Structure 1
Amino acid sequence: MKFSLTAALGATAVILASAFGAQAQTALKWAHVYETSEPFHTESVWAAKEIEKRTNGRYKIDVFPASQLGKEADLNQGLKLGTVDLIISGSSFAAREYAPIGVTYYPYTFRSPEHLIAYTKSDVFKRLAAGYEKASGNHITAVTYYGTRHTTSNRPISKCADLAGLKMRVPDVPAYLAMPRACGANTTPIAFAEVYLALQNGTVEAQENPLTTIEAKKFYEVQKHIVLTGHIVDHLNTLVSKSLWAKLSDEDKAIFTQVTQEAAERSTKIIEEREKGLVATFKEKGISVTEVDKADFEANVREKVALKDFGYKQEDWEAIRAIK
């Protein structure tokens, strides 16, 4: 009887412990629009597992790639609605909540990926990120180098004026329009997931993205020319929703921040390495890859598109340019 009672109590304790453990685990959704082959996904998966491990299983994070939970605008809205907990998204979308943070998308702001990374550690970044958090409630935990944006086209381009009249896909974000419009292109906003088909069927004749994205999305299959305009040194933010960030303890906030920053560093390194060899790779595929007079492009942007047109501040831009 004594043995039976002890066994029963032991079994009950195990059941209660299991139930408590199940209740203690929080399921989270992490979403983005990138392909499973890209480091933005592979390193997000790594980070999700690492957070689960470092929090002793208290958080179980499922990562949804390739627009499975919606387009980038939908994912940003999802942070507000609570339908998604973490996302990877550009400051161009964050600028819809707080315009000044989008200044990094003004063409030819950054000199290099190194300049971009230095910015993410600067006081001006901290100030802009704080402004975004105050406006949206969402918290930026990390920044990843996305790649330097170049142009692909069905016709040769060597100077800004060569874009005149060209039907060009540009993301539905004001800052991305600056360079194409300064050069006279006819810009068309098309969702990221639909760009390949739009290029293939001639809805648009050109688009702009980093070399790694041109490879991952196979845009080179439906474009004849890759033009190294290098107009934006781009980046992605890792964003935690207002509701989730408010629930995290200080210890868990530190874990989420540390892990996502490690993932961002890993992704950045992969992107930089891939970019180095892609020009040769594209040439081997028979694609025309050409340099352009960047000074000509930059001069047209400065003359025809003002920072204030996008809600950016001259002092923020100058502070970023001054970073060494």
Structure 2
Amino acid sequence: MKLKLSTILGATAAVLVSALGAHAQTALKWAHVYETSEPFHTESVWAAEEIAKRTDGRYKIDVFPASQLGKEADINQGLKLGTVDIIISGSSFASREHPPIGVTYFPYIFRDPSHLIAYTKSDVFNKLAQGYEEASGGNHITAVTYYGTRHTTSNKPIEKCADMQGLKIRVPDVPAYLAMPRACGANTTPIAFAEVYLALQNGTVEAQENPLTTIEAKKFYEVQKNIVLTGHIVDHLNTVVSGMLWSKLSDEDKQIFTEVMQEAAERSTKIIEERENALVDKFKADGITVTEVDKSDFEKTVMEKVTFEEFGYDKADWEAIRAVQ
């Protein structure tokens, strides 16, 4: 009888422990607007699984790609509303909360991807990220991923800045992205990322700008036969944890989240750089016209026609970033 009672109590305890363990698991939503084939998604999935492993299953993170939980503006808003917990999004959207952080999108501020990554380890980055965190109610940037260097695709050849005069170009609805096209005389049109292919196909716009990897992933090359290597923005994405979630994490969990997300960012960055290096030759082989341009012509025009103040940027931040080695 005692043996039976002991067995029953043991089984009951095991059920209770299991139930408590299940109850202790926190379900989180991680959202972004990129395709499942892109490293921003594959490495987010890896990070979600890795966080689960390193926290002994206390967090179950589901990753929602391709605007499943809304466009980029929606998921940024979702951090405040509590509809998402983690997002991947550009500093261009963070700048809606804290304009100075958008200076990283000022044309030609970064020399190359290595300069961008060096910036993310600098004092000026820490200052701008902290400013965003305070302005956004605690949203915390845990990692930065190299998104790619932005180039232009067009229906017509472009060799110099003046060739963009009157060009109808899709540009994200973010002030910094407008600087180069407008300085060169283009007519900018904000169209949601998910709708760009159709807009190019039906002639709503004649051009757009994105990194080579995005041009490939979104198949923009099918409806644009000119790729112009303007290289006007060395772009990046932030991994952002909502203020509501970040404030609840223990110091140990904050460290785990940060370490894993930074590892994922490094993995993504490596993949993007490798893909970019191979894409110019691939596009040329596919019969697409790829044009090298004199970037100094574009940069000179921007510096003559665009001011930092009109975007809410601080020139001292621009100078500090340019000085990062």
Tell me if both proteins adopt one fold, taking TM over 0.5 as the criterion: yes
Cα offset, 1:8, TM superposition:
1.6
- Runs of 4+ with >3 A deviation: none
Is residue 149 from structure 1 mapped to residue 182 from structure 2 by the alignment? Answer: no
Cα offset, 1:318, TM superposition:
0.2
Write the distance in 2 (CA, Å) between the matches of 1:24 and 1:284.
54
Q: Which residue of 2 aligns with 1:34?
A: 34
Q: Secondary structure at the match of 1:203?
A: coil
Cα offset, 1:11, TM superposition:
1.6
Cα offset, 1:283, TM superposition:
0.5
Write the distance in 2 (CA, Å) between the matches of 1:296 and 1:307.
19
Write the distance in 2 (CA, Å) between the matches of 1:155 and 1:307.
30
Cα offset, 1:7, TM superposition:
1.9
Write the distance in 2 (CA, Å) between the matches of 1:303 and 1:74.
35
Cα offset, 1:309, TM superposition:
0.6
Q: Which residue of 2 aligns with 1:135?
A: 135
Write the distance in 2 (CA, Å) between the matches of 1:13 and 1:3.
15
Q: Between Structure 1 and Structure 2, how many residues are aligned?
A: 324
| Matched letter for residue 175 of structure 1 | A
Q: Which residue of 2 aligns with 1:225?
A: 226
Cα offset, 1:18, TM superposition:
1.0
Structure 1 regions of 5+ residues with no counterpart?
A: none
Cα offset, 1:233, TM superposition:
0.2
Write the distance in 2 (CA, Å) between the matches of 1:9 and 1:158.
80
TM-score, length-scaled by structure 1: 0.99
Q: Deviation string for 1:94-141 (max 9, x for gaps)?
A: 000000000000000000001000000000000100000011110000
Q: Which residue of 2 aligns with 1:180?
A: 181
Q: Which residue of 2 aligns with 1:121?
A: 121
Q: Secondary structure at the match of 1:162?
A: helix
Q: Which residue of 2 aligns with 1:16?
A: 16
Is residue 208 from structure 1 mapped to residue 209 from structure 2 by the alignment? Answer: yes
Structure 2 regions of 5+ residues with no counterpart?
A: none
Cα offset, 1:3, TM superposition:
2.3
Cα offset, 1:15, TM superposition:
1.2
Q: Secondary structure at the match of 2:60?
A: strand
| Identity score, percent | 82
Write the distance in 2 (CA, Å) between the matches of 1:11 and 1:114.
57
Cα offset, 1:14, TM superposition:
1.2
Q: Which residue of 2 aligns with 1:61?
A: 61
Is residue 268 from structure 1 mapped to residue 269 from structure 2 by the alignment? Answer: yes
Cα offset, 1:2, TM superposition:
1.6
Q: Which residue of 1 aligns with 2:309?
A: 308
Write the distance in 1 (CA, Å) between the matches of 2:310 and 2:304.
12
Is residue 247 from structure 1 mapped to residue 254 from structure 2 by the alignment? Answer: no
Cα offset, 1:4, TM superposition:
2.4
Write the distance in 2 (CA, Å) between the matches of 1:84 and 1:270.
26
Superposition CA RMSD, Å: 0.5
Q: Secondary structure at the match of 1:254?
A: helix
Write the distance in 2 (CA, Å) between the matches of 1:85 and 1:185.
38
Cα offset, 1:5, TM superposition:
1.4
